Amino acid sequence: MADYGKLSKEKTHQLFQYLKDQRVLVKLVLKGTGFEAVSVITGIRSQNAQPQFQIDCPDDFQIVLKSKDCGNLYFEFSGQDKVLYTFEIAPNPEWQRGEVWIPIPDEVDRIQRRRNFRLEAPMGTDLVLRQLEPPLKLAVLDFSLGGLLCVVESARERIKKNLMLARGRNLKNLELLFRDKNVTTKIRIAEATIVRVETNAVTGNRQYAFQFKNMDKGEEKSLTKVLYRMQRQLLRQRLPLRD
């Protein structure tokens, strides 16, 4: 059910802090150019009493921004409450030493209630728990920069491992495996915590939500690249730009 409205200035600033801290994926569109990309907010500051946010600058963003056909900057993302938020601003960000700073709007549109904006894992994506003996492989259902949801598919493994995978347990030495055609990308996660255990109403299988606690910067960068690539593909299918 749709629930339209606007956030106040104070709540807008709180929302942007959440986006930065949690590295939430944000859809960016330059209206009138056909350019769209996915990025994250990397910084927040106040410049001449104007709050600004910094984004991880997408490829060709600055070039397209200078196009005479470029309209407003359009942003779309999901908040902590799984609600879809959007806003538009004029295409005149501030550039400093290759960094782009964009004014934080006074208001953000709250578009829809209970929209589950998540990145589904492609078939064959696995999480391997190397700390367990023998190592346990789980099928990944969806994932983000901060965690993932997965399930133990093997009935035999479920019987042996369900009692071991309890909410609140910390696990070290995890591997996240993405398979794309004949190429496998391996992301190492130093430490993660099981933050939720739930039962799928259809299959009856237990599902485990992991929150990443410790990752090497290089591994985090590799995961970000994978997320960007897959999110761009999904955006074309699931989030077409509204007229």
Q: Are residues 199 and 225 in the same domain?
A: yes
Domain range for 203 is 119-232
77 within domain boundaries: yes
Query: How confident is residue 141, by pLDDT bands cut at 50, 70 and 90?
Result: very high
Q: Name the least confident of 38-42, 77-81, 138-142, 176-180.
A: 77-81
| 22 plus 104 within the same structural domain | yes
**Residues 187, 164 share a domain:** yes
* Same domain membership, residue 199 and residue 128: yes
Same-domain pairing of 189 and 126: yes
Q: Mean per-residue pLDDT for 203-225?
A: 87
Residue 164 pLDDT grade (very low, low, confident, very high; cuts 50, 70, 90):
confident
Q: Are residues 73 and 137 in the same domain?
A: no
The count of other CB atoms within 10 Å of the CB of residue 56 is 18
Q: What is the mean pLDDT of residues 104-130?
A: 76
Total tally of structural domains belonging to the chain: 2
* 45 & 144 share domain: no
Of 163 and 214, the structure prediction assigns the larger pLDDT to 214
Q: Could you tell me if residue 146 is inside a domain? A: yes
User: Does residue 242 lie in a domain region?
Assistant: no
The count of other CB atoms within 10 Å of the CB of residue 49 is 5
Percent of the chain as helix, strand, coil, to the nearest 5: 20, 45, 35
Domain boundary among 75, 91, 117: 117
Does pLDDT of 85 surpass 50?
yes
Answer yes or no: is pLDDT of 40 > 70: yes
Residue 207 near residue 199, CB atoms below 8 Å: yes
**pLDDT recorded at residue 86:** 87
Tokens coding 170: 């910390």
CA dihedral 18, 20, 24, 30 (to 10 degrees): 120
Q: Are residues 203 and 192 in the same domain?
A: yes
Q: What is the mean pLDDT of residues 206-230?
A: 86
Q: Does residue 210 share a domain with residue 144?
A: yes
Residue 58 placed within a domain:
yes
Q: Which of 73, 100, 117 is the last residue of a domain?
A: 117
CATH number, position 146: 2.40.10.220
